[in-house]
Structure 1
């Protein structure tokens, strides 16, 4: 798990080999930055930090570097990007790798080098002997999307690393407003920590006041107002989006995507799927599925079907008709301001 590896790195405990792979780029990038800042002093970076793209450079060149004594420091840090030979993916690379040399190195890595294999691969080819060997020899970080509990732990840890505490209600609101993108959450948490520097505490009011909303989050809030038939607040959010120069056709597309998600979650839940199964099936984060499930309870199946029809009609009119695009969304919202949706 990323948090365990990070703690070891921060404590100055390093593995001679790391394997970082997965589809959550923040976790991989953060691990790299921690290694650079903790394994090397600023003066050593220019001399003892190397980076190779294995789609362009043969592994033997990188390993020769790893076996070279560090210059003016204790260790070398070497990043090996795109180790495609650990996957089942076909590469266009014509680079010839001496994998026997790599196998030998994995059995006896250099004591004065840290070698980091890094690739944005969803999975590795576990059938390959080399993959098995490197996973056995290295500290492995599989960078998956964090679950809701892991995201909450991450938010608290980020607050603590900035010397502040965050209330539980504020953690919940952070996830609702910023979503699950760790790069965005990092930016917002660091901003909040700076604002809370005097009191050393982030509360829900501070989050509500300071956290930026993405278009997707504004649309989620708009849909939430629709769910509760609060047309006045829904229109206010819509007009705010127009003031921010968001295009009506883009707004409609995101509204449609959110209702499609609600429809899919509701249908799959009726078939007996759990939230994590649904998330995997439709390739959405479990936290988004959880929120959509809650919204879906406010609509009957007939209402959701009618809403999807209304959205399809609005999309058609927006792309082919001469009616004002913003007015089409207003009409859609007014039609939903009834206890039940009418065709």
Structure 2
């Protein structure tokens, strides 16, 4: 009775995982009969899904029942809880029940405790841009899945280029796979730099313009990023990651720390060799300015999530940030 609960804001990663699960459990000949998707807007979607999961599959293979965008991890009536308690342990081995949601299941709910007991719960949230080791790990995993061999430097460059954008990661790796063809040699960083569309390069330039107090250049970069359909929230996430790294390096140096390994660990740097450049970048910066930057970025993120106008809000806060570094 495999039961899966996928949650997180990375819609593309969840879609990839669902597609992989479908391919794994369904016999293509019988998939039209053995695959059912229930959306959250349907009346009694969970009850219908549970009843369907109890139905044996037709022909060969398993049956897959998908409760998409379910809210059961956030609220659950006593009646539904009773039905879950009765049904989850009894789902046949040849049936697979899948639930997906954007929000993490509330650990205080009894329904969540039931899923923790009977289901495999997986998180699909975007990796924070400052966790470079996890971004590199994700590139390695997806490259292996797609069938692309990359050198170590190529992996790091691709992780830096696409960040946490899993949709772009799959797209770029598919492009690299087609380019490599039957060549069994790992692709190098130069090839990746030539072929891959870099979405983080401009945000890196934006962060540099801000820390150098170049208001006009920073505003021009913001306008360019929006014209390229770069999501404002992703832009902010990249800025948070960059300034967080600068802040940690500056804090460690100001405290008198000189051990590169200790500084790299504190700043969560995947490649300690970056410290040579980071030292030079933070040397002229005031610690006070760096400490004030992150709250401004978090306020900017909150305003955008509340529906504020993207361009006007970004321009106002970017000017405010640049003023810190004049």
SS where residue 205 of structure 1 aligns? helix
Query: How many angstroms does 1:32 deviate by?
Result: 0.6
> Could you say which residue in structure 1 is the equivalent of 2:26?
40
User: Which structure 2 segments of 5+ residues have no match?
Assistant: 256-262, 294-310, 313-321
Contact 2:203–2:239 (8 Å) recurs in 1: no
**CA offsets, 1:185-215, max 9 Å, x none?**
111111112111232321101111000123x
> Could you say which residue in structure 2 is the equivalent of 1:209?
194
> Could you say which residue in structure 1 is the equivalent of 2:156?
172
- For 1:254 and 1:48, locate their aligned partners in 2 and report how far apart those are by CA, in whole Å: 38
From the superposition, tell whether residues 277 and 31 of structure 1 become closer, same or farther in structure 2 (CA, over 3 Å). Answer: farther
Alignment partner of 1:187 is 2:171 = yes
From the superposition, tell whether residues 197 and 257 of structure 1 become closer, same or farther in structure 2 (CA, over 3 Å). Answer: closer
> Could you say which residue in structure 1 is the equivalent of 2:286?
301
SS where residue 108 of structure 2 aligns? coil
Query: How many angstroms does 1:156 deviate by?
Result: 1.9
Aligned equivalent of 1:127, options 108, 117, 120? 108
Alignment partner of 1:220 is 2:204 = yes
> Could you say which residue in structure 2 is the equivalent of 1:29?
15
Contact 2:13–2:167 (8 Å) recurs in 1: no
Say which one has the larger Rg: 1
> Could you say which residue in structure 2 is the equivalent of 1:113?
95
SS where residue 38 of structure 2 aligns? strand
- For 1:224 and 1:240, locate their aligned partners in 2 and report how far apart those are by CA, in whole Å: 11
Contact 2:157–2:189 (8 Å) recurs in 1: yes
How much is the aligned-residue C-alpha RMSD, in angstroms? 4.8
Query: How many angstroms does 1:82 deviate by?
Result: 3.0
Alignment partner of 1:53 is 2:39 = yes
Pairs aligned (count): 278
Query: How many angstroms does 1:110 deviate by?
Result: 2.0
- For 2:264 and 2:74, locate their aligned partners in 1 and report how far apart those are by CA, in whole Å: 29
SS where residue 93 of structure 2 aligns? coil
Question: So what's the TM-score if we normalise by structure 1?
Answer: 0.63
Contact 1:36–1:77 (8 Å) recurs in 2: yes
From the superposition, tell whether residues 221 and 211 of structure 1 become closer, same or farther in structure 2 (CA, over 3 Å). Answer: farther
> Could you say which residue in structure 1 is the equivalent of 2:302?
none
SS where residue 47 of structure 2 aligns? helix
- For 1:226 and 1:144, locate their aligned partners in 2 and report how far apart those are by CA, in whole Å: 28
Alignment partner of 1:149 is 2:133 = yes
Contact 1:16–1:138 (8 Å) recurs in 2: yes
> Could you say which residue in structure 1 is the equivalent of 2:181?
197
Contact 1:55–1:82 (8 Å) recurs in 2: no
User: Which structure 1 segments of 5+ residues have no match?
Assistant: 1-14, 280-285, 309-317, 320-334, 336-340
Alignment partner of 1:139 is 2:120 = yes
Contact 2:202–2:221 (8 Å) recurs in 1: no
**CA offsets, 1:21-51, max 9 Å, x none?**
1233333222211111111132222111111
Query: How many angstroms does 1:263 deviate by?
Result: 5.4
**CA offsets, 1:39-68, max 9 Å, x none?**
113222211111112343312221221122
